Amino acid sequence: MTTTTAELAVRTAGLRKRYGDIDAVAGIDLAIRTGEVFGLLGPNGAGKSTTVEILQGHRTRDAGDVEVLGSDPASTSRAWRAKVGIVWQDESAPAELTVRETVGHFARYYPRPRDPDEVIALVGLEEKAGSRIKALSGGQRRRLDVALGVIGGPELLLLDEPTTGFDPAARRQFWSLIRQLAAEGTTILLTTHYLEEAEALADRLAIIANGRIAAEGTPVDLRRAHSSEATVEWTEADGSPRTEHTQTPTRTVAELIGRFDGEIPGLRISRPTLEDVYLRLTGQESVR
């Protein structure tokens, strides 16, 4: 199905940004549909954060076309900026204020903000509303960062490595929050190093390597397109384990059924994960 420009929240064509002799972004084309969660993956220095900064209007580009919510972020109005929320990696809220004071203060920056108490509840900080920010845990501060990112009721939310430093429980709680925001219709662009997180949240993904898009698609499509072999494991009659890497696992299993005349001991079939695909495409590790 062809997506029209009117259905896109973000569109870039030939996006480039250079720092000295380094091409941080070397010709990126993106098309993010309104209402979807889009994951941007890549190693440090691949160009993820620079791309997000350009989309937000925080950094200028050297070349290419960019359209975010119908406008060029390099020359936008205050009304446009109110439609874009962003959560950076670094915390920015003043430590001496309480959660309620901080969210209420930021709400005054927007023409039509969400209700501060509603947003505090949305991010799960009701019990900490009267606490000073310096008394919050790392996970609670990150939730506050998200509250500040959504208080203006943005149509687009940019999340730059939002769960870095979270423990597993806090990360799962944060995922629930992102799913809730997406269900409300917010378009979300997420950069992350956590492949499990990207697979759990994103409708589509783009993998960046050396400032370029190496692959793009749904998590399932990426695994299918870039995973060539399955692994078949079983146990021989003498108890010795066997492993075979093959592009035709069904045929291998059929042969084993004939040889074992029934149940195959220790049978296990696995395919390369999204992490395997990611490591291959970014040149960090070979996938067998």
Question: Can you read off the two tokens belonging to residue 96?
Answer: 């001496």
pLDDT band at 92 (very low <50, low <70, confident <90, very high): low
Question: Can you read off the two tokens belonging to residue 61?
Answer: 């580009």
Instruction: Summarize pLDDT for 118-155 with one digit per residue, the tens.
Output: 999 988 899 999 999 999 988 888 889 889 999 999 99
CA angle, corner 278, sides to 218 and 203, nearest 5? 20
Does residue 93 register a pLDDT over 90?
A: no
Distance CA 39, CA 87 (A): 14
Residues contacting 118, CB < 8 A, separation 6+: none
Lowest mean pLDDT: which of 28-37, 262-271, 275-284? 275-284
Find residue 207's DSSP bridge partners: 41, 215
Q: Confirm whether pTM is higher than 0.85.
A: no
Share of the chain above pLDDT 90, in %: 49
Does residue 5 register a pLDDT over 70?
A: no
- Tell me if 104 sits within 8 A of 147, measured CB to CB: no
